[in-house]
Amino acid sequence: MSAVRASAGFMLRHPARWVALGFGSGLSPRAPGTVGTLWGWVAYLVLSRWLGPAGWGWLIAASLPLGWWACTVTARDMGVADPGAVVWDEIVAIWIVLWLVMPAPWWLQLLAFALFRAFDAIKRGPVGWADRLCKLRPGQAIGWRQGFGILFDDLVAAGCTLLCLALGKALWTWT
């Protein structure tokens, strides 16, 4: 199977693609991961008008298996193990970061965003290990392992972001 390009038409033909492509944010021609993360940040701020910490916990808990399914189906449909247009992983990961640091001033949210994007894009250390863990092996078809891998490296990047923010808070006092 040859690789399929993500487009609005492709996205609209299956509900898994809506989710995996971040409701269209992954269709950005430039830096879809960054655009998806921005979409996640804005969605967090909007949804927080109705969701408290417990509501966010439930939404995130539901978003992980939903995302695993959506990312697996979409990657398989696209014929690419980890397509750049799939951004649900960035969205859920930034939700986790914001859920654990909020309430926070805008500059701390921006710092969290920048750290997360750096960890996710550079893929050094534990994020690189997590990214390599579920890669396709020769002759292997795209499946649930790759769908999990799409999410896993971003969850590790979120953990690294939270660790850096916690260390920063321990060293400097901020409100």
pLDDT at 119: 98
Exposed / middle / buried, residue 66 (Cβ in 10 Å: 0-12, 13-18, 19+): middle
Q: What are the pLDDT tens digits along the chain (175 aa)? A: 568 999 999 999 999 999 999 999 999 999 999 999 999 999 999 999 999 999 999 999 999 999 999 999 999 999 999 999 999 999 999 999 999 999 999 999 999 999 999 999 999 999 999 999 988 888 889 999 999 999 999 999 999 999 999 999 888 875 5
Angstrom distance (rounded) from CA 20 to CA 118? 21
Mention every residue, 6+ apart, whose C-beta is less than 8 A from residue 23: 39
Q: Are the C-beta atoms of 150 and 75 separated by less than 8 Å? A: yes
Number of H helices, E strands in the chain: 8, 0
Mention every residue, 6+ apart, whose C-beta is less than 8 A from residue 87: 20, 21, 22, 25, 26, 32, 33, 35, 36, 37, 39
Cis before residue 53, ω within 30 degrees of 0? no
Whether this prediction's pTM lies above 0.85 is answered by: yes
Nearest to 85 by CA among 17, 139, 132, 148: 17
pLDDT at 79: 93
Exposed / middle / buried, residue 145 (Cβ in 10 Å: 0-12, 13-18, 19+): middle
Angstrom distance (rounded) from CA 62 to CA 28? 26
pLDDT at 73: 98
pLDDT at 174: 56
pLDDT at 170: 87
- Please work out, in degrees rounded to the nearest 5, the angle formed at the alpha carbon of residue 49 by the alpha carbons of 108 and 36: 55
- The CB-side HSE value for 101 (13 A sphere, CA atoms) comes to 33
